[in-house]
Chains A and B, each alone.
Chain A
Amino acid sequence: MRQFGTIFKFELKSYLKNKIFVGVTVFLVAVIAVVMFFPSFIGGGAGEITVDSEDENVSAESSGTEGLMLFSAEGVDGAERYRTAFAEAFADYEVGETEDGEERIKERVASGEAECAFVLHSPTSYTYYVDNLSMYDANTEIADTVLGNMYQVQAMIEGGIPPEQVSEVLGVQIQGETENLGKDQMQNFFYTYIMIFALYMVILLYGQMVATNVATEKSSRAMELLITSAKPVSMMFGKVLSSCLAGFLQLVAVFGSAILFYNLNKAQWGDNYIIASLFDMPVSLLVYMLVFFVLGFLMYAFMFGAVGSTASKLEDINTSVMPITLLFVAGFIVVIFSMSGGDVDSLLMKICSYVPFTSPMAMFTRIAMSTVPAYAVAISIAILVVSVVAVGVLSAKIYRVGVLLYGTTPKLGGILKAIRKA
């Protein structure tokens, strides 16, 4: 136990004295400070600047700046009507009617003279020409709506319904109200996303650090002395727990300064929805965050440490840790996709929230964005705790065998065999 304390202190001190560690933390805090004080700088305390209004400014400025949209409705009845409707619908564009043939239109779009072009073949069919289709291009959807509306109106009028009634029918307003009994995913999305991402970054970065740390000791042969001076279990737990505390301190510094700076500038941020939702997270969630952070961190740090001990050279580390990294990234992707899809209670997520390798992220996400029964949370945490202890002890055993093996990186089977014998 005393050995553990000595190792823990020594390792923690080397984190806190590490210039890169300190530098990155200070940099992150500075970035957060700049972001948080930003409205105070530009607003001079007016308190009226919000991201929303900035957005409006941006869209106002960009109006009419999208460029030229060619429009051709040659041979379609009431071409003028369609042109007017398109000009209204695409206010951002300068809609110019053209009598050019399709080949010429294509050339003009391709050459960049025009942004895009709509060539109407009939009231219900068109071709959209564009040079480089953007991911966010919604022009065809707008065109579909415009043409669909015009077709419906036309059809109803032809069917004998008076025009006033037509607009009434089409413009009917539905009264609806939402009463949320669980959690508001929209509101929780941002901070859950940030927390999951922080979890992901910290675990991956520190896991790598633990692996590199062990491999460095091995390659510098300090291991020869360490292994004869301290018990492998003390070594492993000392290293991993100190890196856990270092990571935690870094998180506290970053999130703590964010919260502090936000509160200093609360008035300036006013009613900005995203920022307010970020700092409006319930305390219970912070506690869950802490629990899953610690357990998830330990889980992976032990595995990284064990893998680090089997590498003889620092260069081998990257390939050795690949399987663990992939496992972790896979879990992260599942969680992020479920979050973006809005379905955090899918079967896959439910399974992931019990599997110890993915549960820190998956269960945390479900707690944050959905309603999970208390017993499920308890089971998930219990599985995780047991797994962490098991992985910790196993990794210490791998460590003990691994650090004495030099040369080619041993295969998993070989290590397990050696552990059973040792």
Chain B
Amino acid sequence: MRLTLRNIFKSFGEKEVLKGISFSAESGRAFGLLGRNGAGKTTTIRILMDVFGADAGEVLLDGKPLNYKELRIGYLPEERGLYPKKKIIDQLTYFAELNGMKRQDAVKSVDGWLKRLGMSEHRNKRLDTLSKGNQQKIQLVTALAHNPQIVILDEPFSGLDPVNAMLLKDVVKEEIAKGKIVLFSSHQMNYIEEFCDRIAILNDGVAAIEGDIHEIKRNYVRDKLVVRSEAAEQIRRDLGDCCSAREDGGLLIQMASADDKREMMQRLAGQYDLDEIKVFEPSLNDIFVEYAGDQAKEAAV
């Protein structure tokens, strides 16, 4: 299956939130939907889930418009919340039924998931008697119990301790392995890098960049050098503005173009006593800051 969003526009009143978003995700692989707060991620997800329609553009599954009657989507919203005063089994079954399951199947599936997440003992308790992390696990069941073809997880790891995070990672990997389309939205880039093959970074209502995460890294313009040296201070003084200090103590040197690499490396190696010199390989974090940051926004304007 291939989920495609093509040229989606959406405004609320005067405010244009989405200005032509496009990306596509495949089954059996996780897709990372990134962007700063207010970039339009939630709006995109809501359009995808048919909470409201787009002003323009299409949402396609294998080239055809989504049939919401048959398609099952699982959603873990960033704003968590269920019925605090109701029994866990009751509300989980309710949500599974709302998502199209028959009652018996719903109960069976919910019980299966509670067992998988080690929550069976809480089955008949009220939700508000549980700790925050456990409530989070309960919420996860609402996203998965009805065996959805598309799973949307918005900040799934927030509030989980390392053990539970590990459990969730396993669950997510299983879901991906089952051939589902998994849409991830998170600000924790390490998780995105761990799971996602493809990403889209939303900025100011458009997908600033979209594609295979390795390709994006590979295509990243190789016009920066990372240098480690005892003479860092000296290098900074000599090179001036094009040289900046990195958090790890190294230096980042911006070249005029990627073609200058050879010359620059030779020059630096000849002039100074270097411990290390290499072309800068961006982390996802760096890419995110570059494409979702304010500079990118200004550049777009």
Contact = CB atoms under 8 A, between A and B. Distances in A.
Interface of A: 2-3, 6-7, 10, 14, 217, 220-230, 400, 404, 414, 417-418, 421-422
Q: Which 4 A-B residue pairings sit nearest by Cβ, starting from the closest? A: A221-B81, A224-B77, A229-B98, A221-B79
Nearest to A7: B98
Contacts of A225: 75, 77, 81-82, 95, 139, 142
Contacts of A230: 98
B94 A224 contact: no
B98 A418 contact: no
A3 B95 CA distance: 10
A222 B99 contact: no
A-side interface mostly: helix
Contacts of A217: 83
17 contacts: A2-B100, A3-B98, A6-B98, A220-B83, A222-B83, A224-B77, A224-B81, A225-B81, A225-B82, A225-B142, A226-B98, A228-B73, A229-B75, A400-B51, A400-B52, A414-B13, A422-B52
B86 interface: yes
Find the residue from B46, B52, B53 having the highest chain A CB count within 10 A: B52
Main secondary structure of the interface of B (DSSP, over half): loop
Kindly name the residue among A217, A227, A414 whose own CB sees the greatest number of chain B CB atoms within 10 A: A227
Interface of B: 12-13, 46, 49, 51-53, 73, 75, 77, 79-84, 86, 90, 94-95, 97-100, 139, 142
A222 B98 contact: no
Contacts of A7: 98
B127 to A, nearest CB: 10
Most interface-central of A3, A7, A223, A228 (chain B CB within 10 A): A228
A220 B82 contact: yes
B51 A227 contact: yes
Contacts of B46: 228, 404
A225 B95 CA distance: 8
Contacts of B84: 220
Given A2-B100, A7-B98, A422-B53, 12 more contacts: A6-B97, A14-B86, A217-B83, A220-B81, A221-B79, A221-B81, A222-B81, A225-B95, A228-B46, A229-B75, A404-B52, A417-B13
A3 B90 CA distance: 16
Contacts of B51: 227-228, 400, 404
A4 B77 CA distance: 23
A296 to B, nearest CB: 29
Contact of B79 (A2, A10, A224, A417): A224
A74 to B, nearest CB: 76
B130 to A, nearest CB: 14
A221 B99 contact: no
Nearest to A5: B97
Contacts of B52: 400, 404, 422
A376 to B, nearest CB: 43
Nearest to B77: A224
Nearest to B146: A229
Contacts of B53: 422
B74 to A, nearest CB: 9
A400 B142 CA distance: 21
Contacts of A10: 90, 94
A221 B77 contact: yes
B31 to A, nearest CB: 18
A91 B13 CA distance: 78
Residue among A3, A6, A230, A418 with max Cβ neighbours from chain B (10 Å):
A6
Contacts of A14: 86
B80 A221 contact: yes
B227 to A, nearest CB: 48
Nearest to A235: B98
Contacts of A400: 51-52
Nearest to B103: A6
Contacts of B12: 418
B81 A229 contact: no
A397 B90 CA distance: 28
B113 to A, nearest CB: 15
A172 B76 CA distance: 89
Contacts of B90: 10
B79 to A, nearest CB: 5
Contacts of A223: 81
Contacts of B77: 221, 224-225, 228
A230 B73 CA distance: 12
A38 to B, nearest CB: 39
A6 B98 CA distance: 7
A222 B73 contact: no
Q: Which of B73, B98, B100 has the most CB of A within 10 A?
A: B98
A225 B98 CA distance: 10
Instruction: Tell me which of A220, A223, A404, A422 has the highest count of chain B C-beta atoms within 10 A of its own C-beta.
Output: A220
A7 B98 CA distance: 8
Nearest to B68: A231
A6 B83 contact: no
Contacts of A6: 94, 97-98
Given A6-B97, A6-B98, A7-B98, A222 B82 contact: yes
A404 to B, nearest CB: 7
A412 to B, nearest CB: 15
Contacts of A220: 81-84
